[in-house]
């Protein structure tokens, strides 16, 4: 007889230790005891669709004993053999679920490929040793399957914050998992757990379905009562499961936002563009921070009464604005769920700028020396204006509405521009230009310049300023031809001639209705002198009179002595005509003047204006 003792299972799943099942054979022959021991893994974990190997390690006290190996599975509470091997033959039993999925190597290790869901059962390895007896060990095989990625399905409804009970917002579905995985809902990385005390706010319904292949489909439904801050929250589900060996894993679904309807708490009335002027198009817009259905109404306050402006939606356009469109505008936001009304309004200014008005109106003709001349520049506008006066479009002469001339001078003549603008409205400005004329007697300023150009030359230039434009005449010994440049408010006389060997005198005179002024040039040899005609003319006249007196006395003395014959035939002319020297006149074309140049016809040196004749 013999008795068999089966070792217990190891406590830890997946332990690497082999637990022997000891079979002790007690022979009837006194003093001889033989044993068969079988070791295997008490628990193994396998992943479905992959291969798993279950070891079977026999230990026999009499090694040379003939032995056999058998593998069994538990099928409906009964053993079913799936493999047999003895010293000569090995066979996989036909007609079992493992006929085409197993093999056993020479070390008796059973390999299953692939593992399926129904392989989660107990496997027995039995080793027999003839008269010694037999021994066996068993392994519990646990199988795992990773579920598919969870799919989240958002409910299409919009949840109003006036609701009092949680509403279904999303469903999470995952398939082909084993064992049944866990499903957890999250909001912004914070898990959502069903709580009986918060049933009106959060509830989770979980449904597990075992499919024909033995794997599980998990369906979890989340009902939730949101608050306003949930409008930007993200919701998703997480599936957690276990895989061999002892590895916890998880998969996350896509993230969704839920549709929340909540009444507006604030309204804002806007206009585009922000700065308006006449003839602009204005877009009025009404915005609110709610998501519930609302109705917008635009209005204008006219004579204390609200006038409704027809609109479609939250925008309305007003075309071709005028200054009369300025006023108080706004909008009402009516929440259709709560009937609450929000109001927003603002005062709109349509900017305008009328034509410039100058006081006095002109013409602006002033006499030189006039005091306290003032010209104002004003315009009607929607806002306070900036005013600037400039001369010749460059130099700013005043930054207020007044152009002030404390003492009028010839230099004050010219063009002035007045520009008015509304600050902050760059496209709204106006400008007006006036011309100021200063009347006065001529003022002369002359220069003398010597230069070399194929010989010595002298340039005699005079500038006569005054208004009306002076009439300028110049005379000179031998009556040269002169050139005049007629400018605005002044005349330039210019003469370029060879430097004389003797003395040359030339007088230039400017005359208008207010007076005259002149200038005497005395050019002597290679020295050019310019003297004022006031004192020089008198000196010249006195010298000439003295010379004539001396000459007359000499002639009279000679006549008395008979030195000069008196007969016609004997007379000699002392007034022989002198041949006029040829004088070359060159006009300087590079003279820079501020206005258009007019070339005046030259006049003879002896000719004077009418008031000098």
In order of their start, the domains of the chain are: 2-144 (2.60.40.10), 151-261 (2.60.40.10), 267-347 (2.60.40.10), 357-438 (2.60.40.10), 440-534+584-610 (2.60.40.10)
pLDDT reported for residue 404: 93
pLDDT reported for residue 33: 62
- Locate 355 and state its tokens: 């034509």
Q: Burial code of 27-52, b = ≥16 C-beta within 10 A, e = fewer?
A: eeeeeeebbbbbbbbbbbbbbbeeeb
pLDDT reported for residue 66: 66
Give residue 80's pLDDT band: very low, low, confident or very high (50, 70, 90).
very high
Phi then psi for residue 257, to 5 deg, are -110, 145
Q: Report the DSSP pairing between strands 260-261 and 159-160.
A: parallel
% of the chain exceeding 70 in pLDDT: 81
pTM, full prediction: 0.54
Report which of 604, 411, 389 is spatially closest to residue 489, judged by C-alpha positions: 411
536 SS3 class: helix
Angle at 99 between CA 97 and CA 102, to 5 degrees: 100
pLDDT tens, position by position, 528-580: 444 444 444 565 678 778 888 888 888 777 777 766 654 443 333 323 333 33
Report which of 386, 383, 380, 320 is spatially closest to residue 354, judged by C-alpha positions: 380
pLDDT tens, position by position, 213-225: 999 999 999 999 9
pLDDT reported for residue 589: 34
Give residue 170's pLDDT band: very low, low, confident or very high (50, 70, 90).
very high
pLDDT reported for residue 363: 92
pLDDT reported for residue 494: 83
pLDDT tens, position by position, 481-537: 567 788 777 888 888 778 877 887 888 899 999 999 999 888 876 544 444 444 445
pLDDT reported for residue 569: 38
pLDDT reported for residue 34: 67
pLDDT reported for residue 198: 64
% of the chain exceeding 90 in pLDDT: 53
Section 113-128 average pLDDT: 94
Res. 394: pLDDT tops 70: yes
Alpha carbon distance 295, 104 (integer Å): 79
pLDDT tens, position by position, 338-360: 899 999 999 999 999 999 999 99
Res. 113: pLDDT tops 60: yes
Res. 478: pLDDT tops 80: no
Q: Are the beta carbons of 401 and 377 closer than 8 angstroms?
A: yes
337 SS3 class: coil
Res. 205: pLDDT tops 70: yes
Res. 25: pLDDT tops 50: no
Res. 251: pLDDT tops 50: yes
Give residue 207's pLDDT band: very low, low, confident or very high (50, 70, 90).
very high
pLDDT reported for residue 503: 81
User: Which regions of 294-424 does DSSP assign to beta strands (E)?
Assistant: 294-302, 305-309, 315-318, 327-335, 341-348, 350-351, 357-359, 364-367, 371-378, 386-391, 395-398, 402-407, 414-421
Res. 35: pLDDT tops 70: yes
Alpha carbon distance 167, 391 (integer Å): 78
pLDDT tens, position by position, 257-272: 999 888 899 999 999 9
pLDDT reported for residue 314: 94
Report which of 125, 121, 51, 53 is spatially closest to residue 82, judged by C-alpha positions: 125
Section 189-200 average pLDDT: 78
pLDDT reported for residue 290: 86
Res. 1: pLDDT tops 50: no
Give residue 594's pLDDT band: very low, low, confident or very high (50, 70, 90).
very low
DSSP conformation class of 374: E
Angle at 257 between CA 255 and CA 259, to 5 degrees: 155
């Amino acid at each position: 007889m013999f008795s068999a003792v089966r070792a217990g299972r190891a406590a830890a799943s997946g332990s690497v230790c082999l637990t022997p099942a000891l079979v002790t054979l007690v022979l009837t022959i006194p003093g001889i005891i033989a044993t068969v021991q079988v070791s295997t893994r008490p628990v193994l974990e396998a992943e479905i669709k992959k291969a798993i190997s279950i070891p079977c390690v026999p230990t026999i006290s009499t090694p040379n004993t003939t032995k056999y190996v058998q593998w069994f599975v538990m099928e409906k509470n009964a053993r079913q053999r799936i493999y047999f091997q003895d010293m000569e033959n090995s066979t996989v039993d036909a007609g079992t679920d493992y006929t085409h999925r197993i093999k056993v190597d020479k070390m008796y290790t059973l390999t299953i490929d692939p593992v399926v869901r129904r392989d989660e059962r107990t496997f027995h390895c039995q080793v027999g040793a003839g008269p010694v007896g037999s021994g066996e060990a068993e392994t519990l095989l646990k199988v795992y399957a990773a579920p598919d990625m969870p799919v989240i399905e958002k409910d299409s409804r919009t949840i109003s914050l006036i609701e009092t009970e949680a509403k279904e917002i999303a469903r999470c579905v995952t398939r082909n998992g084993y064992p049944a995985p866990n499903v957890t809902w999250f909001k912004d990385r914070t898990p959502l757990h069903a709580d009986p005390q918060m049933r009106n706010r959060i509830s989770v319904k979980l449904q597990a379905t075992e499919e024909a292949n033995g794997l599980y489909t998990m369906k979890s439904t989340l009902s939730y009562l949101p608050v306003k801050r949930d409008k930007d929250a993200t919701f998703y589900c997480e599936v957690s499961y276990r895989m061999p060996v002892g590895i916890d894993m998880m998969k996350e679904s896509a993230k969704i936002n839920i549709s929340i309807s909540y009444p507006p708490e604030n309204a804002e009335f806007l206009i585009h563009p922000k700065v308006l002027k006449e003839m602009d198009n204005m877009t009025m817009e009404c915005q609110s921070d709610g998501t519930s259905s609302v109705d917008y109404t635009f209005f204008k306050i006219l004579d204390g009464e609200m006038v409704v402006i027809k609109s479609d939606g939250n925008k309305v356009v007003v075309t071709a604005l005028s200054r009369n469109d300025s006023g108080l505008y706004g909008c009402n936001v009516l929440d259709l769920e709560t009937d609450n009304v929000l109001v927003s309004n603002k005062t709109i200014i349509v900017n305008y700028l009328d034509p410039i008005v100058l006081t006095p109106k002109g013409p602006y003709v002033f006499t030189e020396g006039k005091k306290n001349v003032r010209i104002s520049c004003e315009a009607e506008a929607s806002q306070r204006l900036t005013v600037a006066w400039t001369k010749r479009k460059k130099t700013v002469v005043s930054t207020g509405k007044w152009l002030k001339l404390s003492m009028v001078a010839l230099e004050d003549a010219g063009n002035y521009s007045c520009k008015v603008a509304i600050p902050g409205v760059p496209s709204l400005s106006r400008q007006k230009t006036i011309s100021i004329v200063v009347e006065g007697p001529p003022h002369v300023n002359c220069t003398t310049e010597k230069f070399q150009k194929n010989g010595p030359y002298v340039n005699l230039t005079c500038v006569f300023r005054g208004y009306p434009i002076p009439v300028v005449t110049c005379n000179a010994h031998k009556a040269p031809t002169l050139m005049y440049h007629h400018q605005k408010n002044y005349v330039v006389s210019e003469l370029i001639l060879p430097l004389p060997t003797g003395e040359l005198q030339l007088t230039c005179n400017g005359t208008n209705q207010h007076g005259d002024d002149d200038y005497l040039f005395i050019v002597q040899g290679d020295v050019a002198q310019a003297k004022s005609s006031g004192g020089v003319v008198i000196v010249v006249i006195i010298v000439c009179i003295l010379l004539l007196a001396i000459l007359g006395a000499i002639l009279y003395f000679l006549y008395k002595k008979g030195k000069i014959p008196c007969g016609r035939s004997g007379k000699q002319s002392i007034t022989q005509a002198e041949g006029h020297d040829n004088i070359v006149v060159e006009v300087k074309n590079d003279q820079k003047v501020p206005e258009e140049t007019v070339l005046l016809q030259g006049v003879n040196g002896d000719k004077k204006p009418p008031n000098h004749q």
